[in-house]
């Protein structure tokens, strides 16, 4: 499988600081013991934090403000979608800029048999989708990565082998959402600081940090447990933070707004509006906020644009309705930059008391062959350290690289990989996928995403939260779906 090629831990740390200067972790396993940096900032990100309703002290929940960061983006792009024209424009602007269009060497011919190419449903037809959870078959996911790498299908280096999954529970055995967990190689060594998702789970990937120890110790709230790579552990926190009745939820939609999404962007935005309404019904007492980050590519009228978190559902809906698809050119898009901005700019609430979810909606891989300030793999590490879960939604036109990247995002953070389904035309999957039609059920997209959020709410609150829609399936529901 793809490895990080002995990338030093200090290199990983420097890259991440370009994304979020206020956020740091201690990456001092093994030979780097003793080097340290500050822990995660409560809200994350480089943007100036919004003020609280009462001008409250640090740690108070961030008052939603909404609005576009840096002003409303220009959605019109009257240039041709021919990638070659985009390259010429950039080259004319300056020779140094031409390098960003390098896509790397062509991948070797693959021996994987191509599958059916999916196409969008007719205009107005409801979008349907399926999902899989690669965390339920980690060995199968690693085999999938190995097979694609052997076929010459490459993404950015990211090695999930040796993953250790730790669930933090209290003395009653209940998961502790948002728990902080320090990972140590030995009592005298430094640590990596992770934060649990809604189900009290952290995922430590030794290879991502260049760590090769035979065992690691996990500590949280006075409790500890040790285990070897590949372990699944339970950590009993001796003094976890007390649960409160207050529920805060931040849901960020990261949308590909390039021209190739034109056939679906209207339906997708309508689905997102319905999802937002459903979540408001499921959690009427929650401090519920929605935000979005758009990305195109760096030859377009904008590369990224972010609408800050807001609890004003009407304002969010109006901003969402303005989104149009344009630009693009070559197949890959600026997903690296989009995910980095989504992590940094919207004004996330304090992670210890906020359920934090990102839904990525797109049909193309990032520009994996070019240098970017913050590759998506660094944003993934950031998500693990902040307890943010990612749910990618693949749209029509998804190829093998895009599916690979989307599944990396979901599997690493504990999310599910979601993909649009088009009946007899197939599903939004790469030709080399190992996902069969018997592996998933098809639901309307808004029902599926609503149910995923309901599951997260249930995990965070410790009580059942039911989706407000009747889930009807077109297939027999496989286990875990």
Statement: residue 213 has pLDDT above 50 = yes
Q: Is 385 helix (H, G, I), strand (E, B) or coil?
A: helix
Is residue 428 within 8 A of residue 395, CB to CB? The reply is yes
* pLDDT in the model for residue 189: 64
Cα–Cα distance measured from residue 409 to residue 358, given in angstroms and rounded to the nearest whole number: 10
| 144-173 as b/e: b if 16+ CB within 10 A | bbeebeebebbbbbbbbbbbbbbbbbbeee
What's the mean pLDDT in 17-46? 32
Q: Which two tokens stand for residue 137?
A: 């078959």
Cα–Cα distance measured from residue 359 to residue 43, given in angstroms and rounded to the nearest whole number: 19
Q: Which two tokens stand for residue 77?
A: 């792009």
Quickly count: other Cβ atoms within 10 Å of residue 393's Cβ.
30
Q: Is 355 helix (H, G, I), strand (E, B) or coil?
A: strand
Statement: residue 8 has pLDDT above 60 = no
**pLDDT-derived band at 30, boundaries 50, 70, 90:** very low
242-292 pLDDT per residue, tens: 776 678 999 999 999 888 787 788 888 888 889 998 998 998 888 999 999
What's the mean pLDDT in 370-378? 93
Cα–Cα distance measured from residue 203 to residue 471, given in angstroms and rounded to the nearest whole number: 30
Length of the chain: 481
What's the mean pLDDT in 211-216? 92
Complete DSSP assignment for 296-333: --TTSS-SEEEEEEES-HHHHHHHHHH-------SS-B
Is residue 40 within 8 A of residue 386, CB to CB? The reply is yes
- Cα 398 to chain center, whole Å? 17
Cα–Cα distance measured from residue 360 to residue 338, given in angstroms and rounded to the nearest whole number: 10
Cα–Cα distance measured from residue 196 to residue 21, given in angstroms and rounded to the nearest whole number: 22
* pLDDT in the model for residue 365: 87
Cα–Cα distance measured from residue 218 to residue 224, given in angstroms and rounded to the nearest whole number: 5
* pLDDT in the model for residue 78: 56
142: left (phi over 0), alpha (psi -120 to 50) or beta: alpha
**pLDDT-derived band at 367, boundaries 50, 70, 90:** confident
Picking from 160, 121, 154, the residue whose alpha carbon sits closest to that of residue 140 is 160
φ, ψ for residue 70 (rounded to 5)?
80, 10
Cα–Cα distance measured from residue 446 to residue 452, given in angstroms and rounded to the nearest whole number: 10
Q: Is 468 exposed, middle or buried (0-12, 13-18, 19+ CB in 10 A)?
A: middle
Angle subtended at Cα 265 by Cα 263 and Cα 271, rounded to the nearest 5 degrees:
120
* pLDDT in the model for residue 76: 79
Statement: residue 194 has pLDDT above 60 = yes
Q: Which two tokens stand for residue 307?
A: 């609408």
Poorest-pLDDT segment among 74-78, 317-321, 451-455: 74-78
Q: What are 227's strand-pairing partners?
A: 216
End-to-end Cα spacing for the chain: 27
Q: Which two tokens stand for residue 259?
A: 């021209």
Is residue 424 within 8 A of residue 121, CB to CB? The reply is no
* pLDDT in the model for residue 32: 28
Q: What are 389's strand-pairing partners?
A: 357
Statement: residue 348 has pLDDT above 80 = yes
**pLDDT-derived band at 418, boundaries 50, 70, 90:** very high
* pLDDT in the model for residue 77: 65
Complete DSSP assignment for 110-164: P-SPP-PPP-PPPTTPPPEEEEE-GGGGHHHHHHHHHHHHHTT---S----TT-E
* pLDDT in the model for residue 331: 66
β-strand pairing of 389-394 with 304-310: unpaired
* pLDDT in the model for residue 407: 97
Residue with tokens 């979005």, as numbered in its chain: 292
Picking from 379, 368, 388, 298, the residue whose alpha carbon sits closest to that of residue 341 is 379
Quickly count: other Cβ atoms within 10 Å of residue 194's Cβ.
26
Cα–Cα distance measured from residue 199 to residue 462, given in angstroms and rounded to the nearest whole number: 9
* pLDDT in the model for residue 270: 86
Strands (E), 395-445: 417-421, 443-444
Cα–Cα distance measured from residue 389 to residue 383, given in angstroms and rounded to the nearest whole number: 7
Q: Which two tokens stand for residue 265?
A: 């962007």
What's the mean pLDDT in 66-93? 58
376-386 vs 9-19: helix crossing angle, rounded to 10: 90
Q: Is 185 exposed, middle or buried (0-12, 13-18, 19+ CB in 10 A)?
A: buried
Q: What are 366's strand-pairing partners?
A: 333
130-148 pLDDT per residue, tens: 999 999 999 999 999 999 9
What's the mean pLDDT in 402-406? 96
Is residue 448 within 8 A of residue 415, CB to CB? The reply is no
């Amino acid at each position: 499988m793809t490895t990080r090629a002995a990338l030093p831990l200090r290199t990983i740390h420097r890259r991440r600081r370009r994304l979020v200067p206020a956020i740091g972790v201690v990456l001092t396993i093994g030979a780097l013991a003793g080097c340290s940096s500050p822990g995660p900032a409560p809200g994350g990100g480089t943007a100036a934090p919004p003020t609280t309703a009462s001008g409250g002290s640090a740690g108070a929940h961030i008052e939603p403000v909404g609005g576009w960061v840096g002003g409303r983006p220009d959605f019109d792009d009257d240039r041709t979608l021919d990638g070659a024209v985009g390259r010429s424009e950039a080259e004319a602007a300056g020779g140094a800029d031409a390098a960003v269009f390098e896509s790397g060497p062509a991948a070797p011919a693959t021996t994987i048999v191509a599958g059916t190419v999916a196409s969008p449903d007719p205009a107005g037809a409801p979008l349907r989708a399926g999902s899989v959870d690669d965390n339920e078959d980690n060995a199968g996911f690693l085999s999938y990565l190995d097979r694609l790498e052997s076929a010459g299908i490459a993404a950015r280096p990211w090695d999930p082998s040796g993953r250790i999954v730790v669930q933090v529970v209290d003395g009653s055995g209940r998961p502790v959402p948002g728990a902080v967990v320090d990972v140590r190689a030995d009592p005298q060594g430094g640590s990596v600081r992770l934060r649990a998702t809604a189900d009290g789970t952290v995922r430590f990937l030794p290879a991502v940090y260049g760590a090769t120890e035979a065992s690691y110790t996990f500590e949280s709230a006075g409790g500890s447990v040790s285990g070897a790579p590949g372990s699944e552990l339970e950590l009993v926190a001796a003094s976890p933070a007390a649960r409160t009745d207050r529920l805060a939820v931040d849901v960020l939609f990261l949308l590909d707004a390039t021209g190739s999404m034109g056939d679906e962007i209207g339906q997708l935005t309508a689905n997102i509006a319905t999802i937002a309404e459903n979540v408001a019904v499921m959690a009427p007492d929650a401090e519920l906020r929605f935000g979005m980050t758009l990305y195109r590519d760096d030859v377009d009228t904008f590369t990224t644009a972010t609408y800050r978190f807001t609890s004003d559902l009407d304002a969010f809906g109006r901003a969402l309705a303005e989104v149009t698809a344009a630009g693009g050119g070559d197949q890959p898009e600026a997903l690296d930059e989009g995910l980095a901005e989504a992590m940094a700019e919207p004004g996330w609430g304090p992670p210890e008391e906020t359920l934090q979810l990102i839904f990525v909606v797109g049909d193309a891989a990032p520009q994996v062959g070019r240098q970017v300030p913050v590759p998506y793999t660094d944003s993934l590490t950031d998500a693990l350290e902040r307890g943010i879960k990612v749910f990618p939604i693949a749209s029509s036109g998804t190829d093998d690289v895009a599916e690979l990247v989307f599944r990396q995002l979901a599997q690493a953070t504990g999310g599910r990989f979601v993909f649009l389904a088009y009946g007899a035309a197939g599903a939004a999957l790469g030709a080399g996928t190992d996902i069969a039609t018997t592996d998933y059920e098809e639901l309307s997209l808004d029902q599926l995403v609503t149910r995923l959020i309901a599951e997260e709410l249930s995990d965070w609150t410790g009580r059942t939260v039911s989706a407000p829609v009747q889930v009807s399936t077109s297939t027999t529901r496989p286990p875990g779906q």
